[in-house]
Structure 1
């Protein structure tokens, strides 16, 4: 009987480890919004499991990779590269009282994860005078949004040797408080998994580099679902299109 105890303890330890990892991966949360407009701007579409980036990692990326940010975004002299402000360089609409621009959802699934929603590409930013604060037309075409630049930045970061626990954690811990267990799980799990997921996504979208650049306010709305969802054969067609407005769609029927 005594010889079986070490195995019993080992199995118990492994079971506890699996429970802990599962809790880290899948413990959930909910989002509460004051109104439907806020839900449109920041609500989750349910993609956290397959496409969610842990918020502390997403927030730290511009400061870990400022050179890649400058390469793929349009940063003016003295631009703020901290937190969510840096992501505005991709032409995204932003509000001062939110940590990330409009179109980014933060929802807990294991940890707080960042995903995008429809408002990212369907919010118009405009000014009535050159010196006034930007205004937003919600549901309008995101004519300044550089989606391809944002994706290129994320994919380039994932292939950079600085995307490691030693490279990322010092920046993450400047912005987020982590206890010893959270620090360990980020080093062993979240940072490597995020890097791997971004590399896989970059491989899936590698075809975009062989086509005309999307440019601000556009993406290839036909090839994205055709190649990613239906797995249709590669072809030479180009489907770059402007982001449309979401209002008064009935007038376009026919």
Structure 2
């Protein structure tokens, strides 16, 4: 092999290695990079409990834009108008996410459930006033089983496909070319498959077991006890009553 050929060979190998490294970094950034949630969520125990991540996004998270658009495409599978609120999930004024849903970037933006999905509840203040949200208590009304049934019904519908979902997503945001391809060929098919094959989505197995038996799971009970120190007034009283039922 001549010197010239050796240089060309090394150049080609170097370019291939560089391409592989850049491709690997791109895949990591788009699919696995973990970013912190906004600072306001962890600013106090209440916000953290209602909107903070319990690390369910990695195994059970739903791509955010799919999560957002499903109630708009398939309202007939919900018990009434209002999207996720029709399933009894509480919503605080001015906030993007309903109580009990964490939004976090793990590669792409994902939505998963947290402890408040089952523990939080709200009381009505009349038709023209915002409801009062309680972080935890004995009166929670969220229908988690019906939420899971909703996702399965969506996946069974032939309209759950890349064309329809991307059309609806485009009305809410403008995805980059790369993100459109990721949604079309990876996230939408993968999410549909998970909805069809698993009875547990949006919550991981540990959170699901705790939802079936609130007295189980020492970690989750510790979340409630930590929350107790950050609440005041009626909200704290409601949590105290609830904790007594778990003893």
TM over 0.5: yes
Deviation string 1:220-242 (CA, Å, 9 cap, x unpaired) is: 438x99xxxxxxxxxxxxxxxxx
- What is the match of residue 79 of structure 2? 74
Listed one character per residue, the Cα deviations across residues 200-222 of structure 1 (whole Å, up to 9, x for unaligned) are 323x69xxxxxxxxxxxxx6438
**Residue 90 of structure 1: CA displacement?**
0.2
Q: Following TM superposition, by how much is the alpha carbon of 1:145 offset from its aligned partner in structure 2, in angstroms? A: 1.2
Deviation at 1:15, TM superposition (A): 5.5
Confirm or deny that 1:36 pairs with 2:45.
yes
Higher relative contact order (CA 8 A, sep 6+): 2
Residue 130 of structure 1 and its aligned partner are, at CA, apart by 6.3
**Residues 99-148 of structure 1: CA deviation (Å, up to 9, x unaligned):** 22111000111011101111121122113556543112221135321111
Structure 1 residue 20: Cα displacement: 2.2
- Contact (CA 8 Å) 1:122, 1:246: kept in 2 or not? no
Give the Cα separation in 1 of the matches to 2:170 and 2:142.
30
What corresponds to 2:223 in structure 1? Answer: none
**Partner SS for 2:171:** helix
Trace 1:104-253 onto structure 2 (pairs within 5 A): 104-127=101-124, 132-202=129-199, 220-221=212-213, 246-248=239-241, 251=244
Contact 1:121–1:142 (8 Å) recurs in 2: no
Q: Is the 8 A contact 1:121 1:141 kept in 2?
A: no
The answer to which structure has the higher helix fraction is 2
Partner residue of 1:235?
Answer: none
Provide the TM-score with structure 2 as the length reference: 0.71
Q: Structure 1 residues 14 and 198 mapped into 2: Cα distance closer, same or farther (>3 Å)? A: farther
Counterpart for residue 228 of structure 1: none
Instruction: Give the RMSD, CA atoms, in angstroms.
Output: 3.1
Once the two structures are superposed, what CA deviation does each residue of 1:179-218 show, in whole Å capped at 9, x if it has no partner?
111111111211122222222323x69xxxxxxxxxxxxx
Contact 2:161–2:188, Cα closer than 8 Å, also in 1: yes
Give CA deviations for 1:11-46 in whole Å, capped at 9, x if unaligned. 765664443223211111112223221111100001
Q: CA deviation at 1:67?
A: 2.3
Structure 1's 131 and 170: CA in aligned 2 closer, same or farther, altered over 3 A?
Answer: closer
Question: Secondary structure of 2:122's match?
Answer: strand
Give the drift of 1:65: 1.7
* 3-state SS, counterpart of residue 175 of structure 1: coil
TM-score (norm 1): 0.70
Match of 2:94 in 1: 97
Q: Say whether residues 1:23 and 2:29 are aligned partners.
A: yes
